[in-house]
Amino acid sequence: MKAHKRLFWFISLLFVIGIIGAGGLVLTEIRTGNGCPKFGTVPACVIILFCFVLPFISHILNKWNLIYFLLTGLAALIALVASIIQFMGNAECPKTTSGIPMCYLSLVIFTALIVLKQLHRISKNTL
């Protein structure tokens, strides 16, 4: 399998993992009203889910790279700020069952999505 195809499928897998994670938080937010921190009245997990779904569609259709990079960049920035606040002890990010703050995981996933998409674009253009 060519490198760009492997990258395509790995990026897709990261999106599925992210959508499942953020989707679970959104469901908790809907059920309890306390699933994730809020920006004003908008739950952060809804914004993050949106930033997973639209770039995923962009990736699958292989269109709208600007939307892909804008939304994954926005989500990475949100995750970075949340991770810093979490690390400093000024706020609490939702945690996985093993106790890992999800903002840390979001930062890793969105950073990987940005880097891998750029590598995918480069590998596609060099073949």
**Distances 48 to 14, 121, 122, 124 between C-alpha atoms, Å:** 14, 24, 26, 28
* pLDDT recorded at residue 71: 93
CA distance 127 to 119: 13
* pLDDT recorded at residue 113: 93
- What is the residue extent of each domain of the chain? 3-125
Classify each residue of 20-59 as buried b or exposed e, where b means 16 or more C-beta atoms within 10 Å of its C-beta: ebbeebbebbeeeeebbbeeeeebbbbbbbbbbbbbbebb
Weakly modelled stretches of the chain, pLDDT under 70: 1, 125-127
Q: Which residue, 101, 103, 9, 96, is CA-closest to 56? A: 9
For the chain, give the number of residues: 127
* pLDDT recorded at residue 121: 82
* pLDDT recorded at residue 126: 59
